[in-house]
Structures are given as C-alpha cells and as structure tokens.
Amino acid sequence: MNTPAIREQFPILHRNSQSGMPLIYLDSAATSQKPNVVIDAMQAYYRHHNANIHRGIHTLAEEATSLYESARETSAQFIGASSPDEIIFTRNTTEALNLVAQAWGGKHLNAGDLVILTEMAHHANLVPWQMLAERKSLRLEFIPFDEQGTLDLAEYARLLEQSPKVVSFTHISNVLGTHNPAEHIIAQAKSVGAVTVLDAAQSVAQLPINVQALGVDFMAFSAHKMCGPTGIGVLYGKAERLAETPPLLGGGGMIRRVRLRSFETADVPARFEAGTPAIAEAIGMAAAMRFLAQIGMEEIHQHEQALVRYAWEKLSEVPSLRLLGPAADSRGGLATFIMEEIHAHDLAQELDRFGIAVRAGHHCTMPLHNKLGIAASVRASFYLYNTFEEIDHLVLALFKAREWLG
C-alpha cells in the first residue's frame, strides 16, 4: 500500500500530541481515525440534505432517505450479505449483541438451555448473556484458551456434545489478538443445531469478510473501528433469523399499525430501528466502507500483518516485556504486553510523553485478565495508516520508559 498517500487523507495524523511531540496513534483497536471522505460525507449531509427519513415526502426527506438506505446497501455489499434487509443499524457492536441476546434469545431460549461463550470474550459479548441467563435460568459454559492464547477446540467439541442452543464468540480478540477459526467454530456449531453469533468488532476492520461464506447466523460490528463515525454499528442477521426475532425497542418507525391496546410491527429491517436513527453516521459509515474497499481489504490485512510481525520482533527485544497471545502469524493487528514492575497505566502515560497513543487497562475483558493473573495490560494496535518507523519509536520509548520508571 501507499501508506504516505493514505496518511495524507487523515487530518488528525498531522497534529502534535499534548507533549508537543508528533502524534503516533497506536490505539485503533479502541477507535480508528477518520479520513477526509468520511468527514466530508457527513458534513455534506448536514449542509445539503438534513431531514428526517422515511416519513417525509418533501425533497430533503427523500434525499436523506435515499442516502440512508444506500448506506444499508453499501453495508450489505461490504460483508457479502444476500440482501440489504439483513442489515440492521444499531448504535454499536454492544447494542447489536444485546439485541441478539435480549430479543432473539429472550424469545427462543428457555430454562436449562446452554449458551457457549469463550474466556476471551469482550464484556459486550458476555454481560448480555449473563443478564439473560439470570432472567431465564440459562446455562453458560466457556471455551478456554491455552497458554498461547488460542481456544481449546478439543474442549469446544466436548461442550458441543451437550447440545447448546447458541455459540457466541469473538473473531479476533481485542486483547490477545487471537484470530479464531470462525469457519470451523461455526460449522461445528451448525452440526449440532446451534445458532451462531460472531463479535466482529475487530475483524471487519482488518479482514475481507463474507457472511454467506462463513454461514454465521448473526454478526455484529461498529463503524468507528473501521474509519467510520462513532454512534453507529451493524447487526447482520440471516433473513430467517431476523424474521423470528421480536423488536427490542418500541416507538416510531418500527410499526405498521398502532391501536390503543395493540400494535403490528413493520417488516425487517425497520422493525429493529425504532425512533430517528443515526442518519449522518450511516452515511459516514458507508463512505468509510467505500474508502476501505477502494484500498482493498486484503491489502489492508497484509499491511497489518507485516506491521504486527515487525512489532512482535522488535518488542521481544525489550527487557522485562511480556507479550500476550499467540505468535505474530496467528493474530490480528495488535500487540498487548506488560512490563515487570511497571503498572500499565504508568507505562501508557509515559509513552504519551513521547507522543505515542496506546491503550492501558483491562480492555473490557476482566475475566481474561484474571485468568492471566494481571490487573491491566498495554495494547498497541495498528491500522492501515501506521508505519514501521512508528513501531521503532514505540520500542525506543519503551526502553527509555523502562530506564526511568523501572
């Protein structure tokens, strides 16, 4: 990829950090930066087309509706869905997973039913199932991960013998970086009749994904991790799964007919999009998808893989630094680590003095950190705009931080 040309399209990458150092942004797993085309698309909507959608018959309303529904079509194409009607706009990955658990699971799961999750689950794919389990007396079991940070598929096979109703897992761990074998996990779940749910918050930004090839029932992701705006995400659902799912929210936009004591829901996807949606954000997300598709998702993936292999090699040279998760060839575009005798927050704050933005904490994976026996970790995550020179600066700053703080 022509990384210098790509970087020119991200205005924030040309500013300095608060310390006065040039910004080195290594926190894209938390949220990515936004290119001009996304910013411009959202501004154009507000400047020229701002109106509410679907119910107005004036020019602005028709233009806004067309842009919004075009964003749905772009989203379907981006992930290989068979129809735009399989795309539900949500606020984020978290809301999408809650919709599956509380709406689909609330209707179709009963006391004693088994839901299989993983020990590396983000809280967004853990807490909603815990809430439902408490409400409906479900069983939760977990696929463990081993010392290399990979899922124990032998244990998964044993859990499948218990006839689970749902298997819900992350495609790429936001901490360990583990690239889980989604095709295998989904195929095995389908063989015992389980419904599959994929947390693709990290992977959709990094990999070319085709939901029909995966065979997954539900998949959730957010725009803000893939160069799009905050405040909007996507729930993909197979048509037959969405048809059997009741709405989660009630109000305007999700109804066909309302009487004083009853109502009829609208068809999918409107059934799940109550109230005024994030119109400008949907338009911005579509612009981000077109931007990424023009570069090429496979090219982006290869660039990230080259960065993470280089980072893994260089970070391994830092004394007392321990990298978490599998080797570089089996992971997504991030490197998470701890440094002996230096708290993750102190280390991240020291890196910020060098203009380097990383994430420190438990990264919404407390059970994962508890299993590893650590309270927090530091995560450096890479994206299409990052360079090998930025990794060199990170490693140099870690050597200096260790000298000053160690």
Q: Which of 242, 270, 294 is the last residue of a domain?
A: 294
- Confidence at residue 328, expressed as pLDDT on a 0 to 100 scale: 87
Q: Kindly tell me the sign of the dihedral angle through the C-alpha atoms of 159, 243, 217, 279.
A: negative
DSSP 272: G
Q: Which of 265, 294, 323 is the last residue of a domain?
A: 294
Q: How many domains, the chain?
A: 2
Task: Report pLDDT digits (tens) over 94-109.
Answer: 999 999 999 999 999 9
Q: Which of 294, 325, 357 is the last residue of a domain?
A: 294
Instruction: Say how far apart CA 166 and CA 325 lie, in whole Å.
Output: 26
Q: Is 364 annotated as catalytic?
A: yes
The answer on 179 and 72 residing in a single domain is yes
pTM: 0.97
Task: Report pLDDT digits (tens) over 125-179.
Answer: 999 999 999 999 999 999 999 999 999 999 999 999 999 999 999 999 999 999 9
Catalytic residue among 255, 274, 364, 374: 364
Calculate helix-pair angle for 388-405, 297-315, nearest 10 degrees. Answer: 30
Which amino acid type is present at position 324?
L
- Confidence at residue 395, expressed as pLDDT on a 0 to 100 scale: 98
- Confidence at residue 406, expressed as pLDDT on a 0 to 100 scale: 66
Q: Kindly tell me the sign of the dihedral angle through the C-alpha atoms of 85, 90, 92, 95.
A: negative
The answer on 57 and 20 residing in a single domain is no
Range of the domain at 111: 51-294
In degrees, rounded to 5, the angle at the alpha carbon of residue 66 between the alpha carbons of residues 65 and 68 is 65
The answer on 364 and 262 residing in a single domain is no
CB 357 within 8 A of CB 16: no
Calculate helix-pair angle for 279-295, 36-44, nearest 10 degrees. Answer: 150
